[in-house]
Amino acid sequence: IWKRILRVNLSDKSVKVEETPENLYKMFIGGDGLAGKIIYDEVNANIKPFDPENRVIFAVGPFQGTGIPGEAKFCISSKSPLTNTYGNSMGGANFGPSFKKTGFDALIIQGRASSPVYLWIHDDWVEICDASHIWGLDTYETVNAIKKDLGERRVSVAAIGPAGERLVAMACIAIDGHSFAGRCGMGAVMGSKNLKAVAAYGTKTPPLADSEEVSRLSRDLMKKLSELGRDLRENGTPSGLLIYHKYGDMPIKYWLGDVWEEGASKLGQPAYNEVLKPKPLPCLHCPVGCHRYVKVDEPEKYACEGPGPEYETLAMIGAVNLVDDVKAVAKANDYCNRLGIDTISTGAAIGFSIECYERGLITKQDTGGLELKWGDGDLVIELVKQIGLREGFGALLAEGTLKAARKIGKGAERLVVHVRGLDFPAHDPRACWSLVPNYATSTRGACHMKGVPEDIECNVFTLPELGYPKQTIFFDPSDKADLAMKLQDFTTLVNSLVICLFMPDGAGMTLTDILNCFNAITGLHWSIGQLMLVGERGFNLQRLINIRDGKGPEHDKMPERMFEPAKQGFRKDKVPPADTLIKDYYKLRGWDERGYPTKRKLTKLGLEEQA
């Protein structure tokens, strides 16, 4: 840890380096935890997502620059235009280590530039550069243009595309044209500040308490995770599609469908590999390389080349809209990547609009002449373009699904599958009941990455140190609130240490491995309990942000569709006991029966000032 934070005010073009107390890092470590503390301190309830005084925070943790597998990540946080409360997303490629080696633990960006700019950070050199010549370029073009500008191919670039420039609510951030910080509309907040990109390249060596032990752990983990993560390396996240479909966990037809055997078989493995011929596309120091690089030559209308669709994209662009042509999904994914929009919220918005059209809530007069129908890959591609460019009917969907529903009226809001304004990802709480309290209380809205309990339910990974050495029993409510709570704290910890979540969830890194690395890096002698306390503290502080922003317990609920039982398949006739699960969760958290953290709980977490 450098104990240094870089602050840039785009309004007055000032740059400051702030020395930070060691206790701040012991409380929150870095990444998601540190960013949450900054948002709590500096972004009050009256500040709107696109106000100049909103902050954009890039934060790393102790693992960056160490060579430990999974170190490529970084956290970006702000107030989200989709939820109007705490939002964050994680990106990879090489940005995290590149930024860490400049000598900072975090970057705080505030204000609004009078014209397009990008930031260039090279060790102690910080420059606000003109970006007028690259404003309008797509994300891939932007990365290449900035590297050419700077004459440094080793620089890592986190950039927005045309969607972020146009303040599309689900705009994402692309890192090196390879990885994407997708959720919560962080790209739109950057766009509101006229900030096209942040480029970083550092040469400093982060301080390590025991460099020899860190090197040994890195070597051992690289070998271990290479072996245990073989399936993820060979097949990527698409390997999970048929598993999730089997358990009724994959959304179909905007959450209206139950089973889609033929369609799922065309999108998942082995069809994905056979049709797209993907190659692994690893982030820095990754033994897995879960991203896929694909190239489609024909038919010409689907021709594309670059990072291919992940499981979430196959499900949200494909299954949610009943598009079973994996080449069409790949093309839609390519447009999302280039324009810079989140494939999850984009796919959800399109599926929602098709249902509205089918129900007669909107007509061709509203859609600009488009006939919205299920299973039309060309339609989905067209709507992706319209959303990303904020054009035509897509301009309505570019506001985000919930805001679009409110503008449509006629009861459309009841159809939206969301929590706090963030669309559900591609995992169904009606199959994995731990997702009910997980989604309902997630501090950034419906999110499986703020807790990944569905993967323990589906037997994808285990956490023996937290009491989950094996798969849990489906549709048994007795342990689901506990599982959700522990996985939320665990993922908040992982995102504060800033490690790729796929290292434990897919590649076999244990919590004990994580602890050993942390102690070797920092020189501390912490226990697993002390480490997990950081995750719990960070999650509770973000809960306080939600409450302050008017997004508290009254929003801890499932959309109506989650109480509609399946007519067939694995979850036939099953409906989660949501009220019971959420009440159990509150009790386990040490919150009051209304869902508010108690003064006693906050004091126990060292949050006396916030109590």
Mean predicted confidence (pLDDT) in 429-446: 98
Are the C-beta atoms of residues 448 and 438 closer than 8 Å to each other? yes
Closest by CA to 329, choosing from 258, 426, 413, is: 426
Picking from 94, 26, 34, 28, the residue whose alpha carbon sits closest to that of residue 58 is 34
Residues 6+ away with beta carbon under 8 Å from 248: 258, 259, 428, 430, 431, 566, 569, 570, 571
pLDDT digit string (tens) for 4-18?
Answer: 999 999 999 999 999
pTM for the full predicted model: 0.97
Q: Cα separation of 93 and 40, whole Å?
A: 28
CATH topology of domain 4-200: Aldehyde Ferredoxin Oxidoreductase;  A, domain 1 (3.60.9)
pLDDT band at 483 (very low <50, low <70, confident <90, very high): very high
- Tell whether domain 236-423 is in CATH 1.10.569.10: yes
Rounded CA-CA distance 502/487 in Å is: 14
Domain 435-610 has CATH 3.40.50.150: no
Residue-wise pLDDT for 214-248, tens only, equals 999 999 999 999 998 888 899 999 999 999 999 99
Is it true that the peptide bond before 429 is cis, omega within 30 degrees of 0? no
pLDDT at 506: 87
CA distance 499 to 74: 8
pLDDT of 154 strictly over 90? yes
As a whole number of angstroms, the distance between CA 366 and CA 371 comes to 10
Partner residues linked to 74 by β-bridges: 91
The model's pLDDT over 515-547, given as tens digits with 9 standing for 90+, comes to: 999 999 999 999 999 999 999 999 999 999 999
Q: What pLDDT, on a 0 to 100 scale, did the predictor assign at position 418?
A: 99
Average pLDDT, the chain: 97
Residues 278 and 97: their CA atoms lie apart, in Å, by 26
Q: What is the pLDDT of residue 153?
A: 87
Residue 211: enclosing H or E segment and its boundaries?
helix 211-228
**Nearest residue to 262 (alpha-carbon basis) of 278, 248, 245:** 245
Backbone angles phi, psi at 88, to 5 degrees: -155, 165
Instruction: Specify the domain boundaries for CATH 1.10.599.10 within the chain.
Output: 435-610
pLDDT digits 0-9 by tens, 272-326: 999 999 999 999 999 998 999 999 999 999 999 999 999 999 999 999 999 999 9
Average pLDDT of the segment spanning 493-506: 96
Q: Where in the chain is the domain with CATH 1.10.569.10?
A: 236-423
* Paired tokens of 286: 């990754």
CA 46 to chain centroid: 25
Give the mean model confidence (pLDDT) for residues 133-137.
99
Residue 468 has pLDDT above 90, yes or no: yes
Give mean pLDDT, residues 352-368.
98
Domain with CATH 3.60.9.10 in the chain: 4-200
Maximum C-alpha span of the chain: 67
Among 177-181, 315-319, 419-423, the range scoring the smallest mean pLDDT is 177-181
